[in-house]
């Protein structure tokens, strides 16, 4: 694994995809998902220009955070969070990407002493195995979610099915973007809805085409 080469390639690919989409390169933030590697490898990303670190599990998040908390890093928790673990981790999280129920939002409200930036996870493809709100569910819950003032709802997050074709990916990401814009227009307090967390190593291109502002890239860094 050549981390420097991989990182340069990822940066270049995101730059190319942004340009193809007619967007500024700096409108897309790259979250390096370090779940595959140890603390030292994650740390080696920092001098290469990576400033966003993401982990999908609480124990792994805490391990990386403990070791690297004094460094210039924005911390992302990107995976499913069980309610009973909120209190262990939420105070260290800058962005939580997988807010998928009202009950979880209420737990964050109860346990956090500061405002946490959160993405509402949506399950546009209605895959059984995936977490997240359906469009209808989410629209119905918006006003209730907005009363929780320890949460800033920065945008929507989605994960496309592993086997989706390029056309299916575009459909899913476009539907997510449409929903983001629909919610943003409502101008609800605590819900700026300016961001989209979409795209991983295999589908960042389509995600950027449809407005993603945070891509979550793991394996492309570490292959
Ligand atoms: C692992 C993971 C990623 C990164 O996936 P890659 O295919 O390795 O880029 C993105 N988002 C979530 C929620 C993940 O768990």
Asked if the 3-221 domain carries CATH number 3.20.20.10, the reply is yes
52 lines ligand 1 (CB under 6 A): no
Q: What angle do CA 87, 189, 193 make, to 5 degrees?
A: 80
**Residue 220: per-residue pLDDT:** 98
**Residue 1: per-residue pLDDT:** 87
Task: Give this prediction's pTM.
Answer: 0.97
**Residue 129: per-residue pLDDT:** 66
Domain boundary assignment for the chain: 3-221
The answer to whether the CB of 198 falls within 8 A of the CB of 12 is no
Averaged pLDDT in 10-residue chunks for the chain of 223 residues:
97 98 97 98 98 98 98 98 98 98 98 97 80 95 98 97 94 97 97 98 97 98 95
215 lines ligand 1 (CB under 6 A): no
Task: Specify the residue with its C-alpha closest to ligand 1, atom 10.
Answer: 216
Pocket probe for ligand 1: among 200, 203, 212, 217, the residue whose CB has the most ligand atoms within 8 Å is 200
Cα 31 to averaged position of ligand 1 atoms, centre (Å): 10
């Amino acid at each position: 694994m050549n981390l420097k080469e991989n990182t340069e390639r990822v940066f270049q690919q995101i730059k190319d995809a942004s340009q193809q989409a007619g967007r500024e390169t700096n409108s897309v933030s790259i979250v390096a998902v370090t779940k595959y590697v140890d603390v030292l490898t994650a740390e080696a990303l920092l001098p290469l220009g990576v400033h966003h670190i993401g982990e999908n599990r609480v124990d792994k998040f805490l391990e990386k955070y403990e070791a690297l908390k004094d460094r210039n890093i924005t911390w992302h928790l990107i995976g499913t969070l069980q309610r009973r673990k909120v209190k262990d981790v939420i105070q260290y999280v800058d962005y939580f990407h997988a807010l998928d129920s009202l009950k979880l939002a209420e737990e964050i409200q109860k346990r956090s002493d500061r405002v946490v930036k959160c993405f509402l996870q949506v399950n546009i493809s209605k895959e059984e195995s995936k977490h997240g709100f359906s469009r209808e569910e989410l629209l119905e819950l918006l006003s209730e979610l907005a009363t929780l003032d320890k949460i800033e709802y920065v945008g929507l997050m989605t994960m496309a099915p592993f086997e989706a074709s390029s056309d299916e990916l575009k459909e899913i990401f476009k539907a997510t973007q449409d929903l983001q814009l629909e919610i943003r227009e409502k101008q609800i307090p605590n819900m700026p809805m300016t961001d989209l967390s979409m795209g991983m190593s295999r589908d960042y291109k389509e995600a950027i085409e449809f407005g993603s502002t945070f891509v979550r890239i793991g394996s492309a860094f570490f292959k």
